[in-house]
Amino acid sequence: MHGPQAWAEVAEAMLREHGHKASGPRSAVLESIGRQSCVVTAQDLAVDLKRRKKKVGIATVYRTLEVLEDLKLVQRLDLGTESARYEPAMPDGRHHHHHFVCRDCGDVIPFEDDALERAIEALGRRLSASVEEHDVILKGRCPDCEK
């Protein structure tokens, strides 16, 4: 099971499992989130929904994001901008990546790094701690702004 539809199906199932009833607006929000490959604001989701002619209010978007965050179905990222950003996440941590944020233009570049993951695991062992989650956000200038 891969892709946006897979994430939306997992999210719907977990919401039902936790006693949340299905609704058309919430399903539209799930579909919109599932289509994202990286971070997006609640306002971005509202614009996407409106563009696709889905009648979903911004309050529904925020409420859905809050519930999804509680269930670890979205990752909330505070990137130092006015609005938090969210991205779809699988509860088991699959499809984990990190982010580079350009201080000049605000672009967010997702990246994966196996050496970084190994270093974080090694740090956990050195601390005799169990690292269950981590977020890495690098900030600087993107290649376009460096020019």
DSSP for 96-132, please give it.
Answer: --EEEEETTT--EEEE--HHHHHHHHHHHHHTT----
pLDDT recorded at residue 4: 57
**pLDDT above 70 covers what percent of the chain?**
92
Q: Which amino acid is at 103?
A: R
Q: Give residue 6's pLDDT band: very low, low, confident or very high (50, 70, 90).
A: confident
- CATH class belonging to 1-95: mainly alpha
How many CB atoms are located within 10 Å of the residue 106 CB? 12
| Extents of the domains making up the chain | 1-95, 96-147
Pick the CATH number of 96-147 from 3.30.1490.190, 2.20.28.160, 3.10.180.10, 3.30.1390.10: 3.30.1490.190
Q: Which two tokens stand for residue 74?
A: 């979205």
pLDDT recorded at residue 94: 62
Q: Write the pLDDT tens digit of every residue in 10-48.
A: 899 999 999 998 899 999 999 999 888 788 999 999 999
pLDDT recorded at residue 133: 82
**pLDDT above 90 covers what percent of the chain?**
54
